[in-house]
Amino acid sequence: MPISGESGGAWLVSTGSREWKGISMNITLRTIELFVFWYPALMAVFWMAGGIIFYFSNERKKPIPLYEVPMVSILVPCYNEGETLENTVERLAEIQYPNYEIIVINDGSTDNTVEVAESLLDKYPMMRFINQKENAGKANALYLGLLASNGEILVGVDSDSYIMPDALNYMVPHFTNRFNGERVGAVTGNPRVRNRNSLLAKIQLCEYASIISLIKRTQRVWGKVMTVSGVVVAFRKKALMDAELWDRDMITEDIGVTWKLEKKYWDVRYEPRALCMMLVPETVRGLAKQRGRWASGGMEILRRHFNIFKSWKSRRLFPVYLEQLCSILWSLCWLLMLIIIIFNLFTNNTYIQLPYLWKSLFLSSVCLLQFIVAIALDSRYDPHLFKYSVEAVWYPFLYWYINAFLVIKALPTLFKRNKKLAKWSSPDRGISGNDSTKK
């Protein structure tokens, strides 16, 4: 039947509108698909280039000489660390630096941490002990340690970790360098995984080398460091005071204080030679809890520091902020594409198409190349890295799946403000807690 008059025009408009919506939807999905594919590939190339540049411009050179030995206060905040504290203090007492003190701060532990700490006081004369009876969070414990410290340089070390004997000899010269050391506010060290018995621990060992360490190198070259490693970091006390100390309402105090320092134009550096041996989670639940905290901390940074775009002087923070934002967007887009692919598989009985197959192979190859470059850079500090690199093939699967869901779970943090003290709970310290690096 022919279509004429107003009804025909309405039909054409309706049909055209549906077709236009369909085209717009296809373009949107195609854009999302391209972003999900190309973003990790391009960022991997970006990280590799930055890591190589950092190596030739920094690591290959001789370390800065130790001309001065200012007083260093090592702060060790504790919460239920009765099993690990004695080993930590014993290792810190072996540091090959002539002028330092150890300040252990208990933060309302419910185990035997206080008894262990008090029993160590006579054995190690350079150690002092602060007993905070109520759990008020790591940032508050560090604040108490700062008030009691005698050193102009503060080094934060987690109570289940220890820095290598020569670590201070690499970190301190950044502050005392007579050419450009006066603007250095913090130096973050190089965390190394010491419990390497389980598959999950081995995967994290490769992650710290190929992802975290490589990214810090690149951020130091192209912009600003996103965050110091809370497990091993040195601060200039004056810089901390200028930045108004740690945020005691943030669950990731290390990310927060990094941004506060850099917004005050203090320099934050990465020193890969300053090694810190630490324990990592060896259960999926423990890992998810840790990464969920990291994701929430990233959200809090985006909300609190959006005002960096108001000042051109903060321009070196722009790429770090935008990269964090893009990472969150990528997780959302990746999950959307995963849902669409699964839906199509169940509704149309289709199979994995060739374009997705070659894209997966391409991303896997780029990821593998990134691992090779990063492990080659870090193997000078950990010669056994290549032995564990076989387990690295599982990393993209675990990281992308777990991280995407944790980022989405943490999204509400972007829109709410925490006004309470960020208290901590006992983390997963590994199934065995063994120091596999001794083997």
* Residue of 212, 214, 347, 350 whose CA lies nearest to 290: 212
In the predicted structure, residue 91 carries a pLDDT above the cut 80: yes
Q: Which residues of 301-315 are buried (b: 16+ CB within 10 A; e: fewer)?
A: beeebeebeeeeebe
Residue range of the domain that includes 159:
33-60+68-428
Least confident segment among 207-211, 401-405, 420-424: 420-424
For residue 437, tell me if it sits in a domain: no
| Percent of the chain residues topping a pLDDT of 90 | 19
C-beta neighbour count of 45 within 10 angstroms: 13
206-256 pLDDT, tens digit each: 778 767 888 899 888 877 888 888 889 999 999 999 988 888 877 788 888
For residue 420, tell me if it sits in a domain: yes
- Of the pLDDT bands very low, low, confident and very high (cuts 50, 70, 90), residue 433 is very low
- Of the pLDDT bands very low, low, confident and very high (cuts 50, 70, 90), residue 288 is confident
In the predicted structure, residue 12 carries a pLDDT above the cut 60: no
For residue 224, tell me if it sits in a domain: yes
In the predicted structure, residue 1 carries a pLDDT above the cut 50: no
158-196 pLDDT, tens digit each: 888 889 999 999 999 999 887 777 889 999 999 988 887
- Of the pLDDT bands very low, low, confident and very high (cuts 50, 70, 90), residue 421 is low
In the predicted structure, residue 295 carries a pLDDT above the cut 60: yes
14: left (phi over 0), alpha (psi -120 to 50) or beta: alpha
pTM (predicted TM-score): 0.82
> What pLDDT is attached to residue 303?
82
**Mean of pLDDT values over 331-352:** 70
For residue 105, tell me if it sits in a domain: yes
For residue 195, tell me if it sits in a domain: yes
Separation between Cα atoms, residue 284 and residue 301, nearest integer Å: 26
- How many independent structural domains does the chain possess? 1
135-161 pLDDT, tens digit each: 888 888 899 999 999 999 999 998 888
Separation between Cα atoms, residue 168 and residue 152, nearest integer Å: 14
In the predicted structure, residue 432 carries a pLDDT above the cut 50: no
For residue 152, tell me if it sits in a domain: yes
For residue 166, tell me if it sits in a domain: yes
* CATH of residue 93: 3.90.550.10
For residue 379, tell me if it sits in a domain: yes
Q: What is the 3-state secondary structure (H, E, C) of 384-402?
A: CHHHHHHHHHHHHHHHHHH
Neighbour-count burial of 131, counting CB atoms closer than 10 A to its CB (0-12 exposed, 13-18 middle, 19+ buried): middle
> What pLDDT is attached to residue 150?
92
Per-residue CA distances from 133 to 353, 365, 385 (Å): 60, 52, 41
What lies within 8 Å, CB to CB, of 24 at 6+ separation is none
73 or 139, greater pLDDT: 73
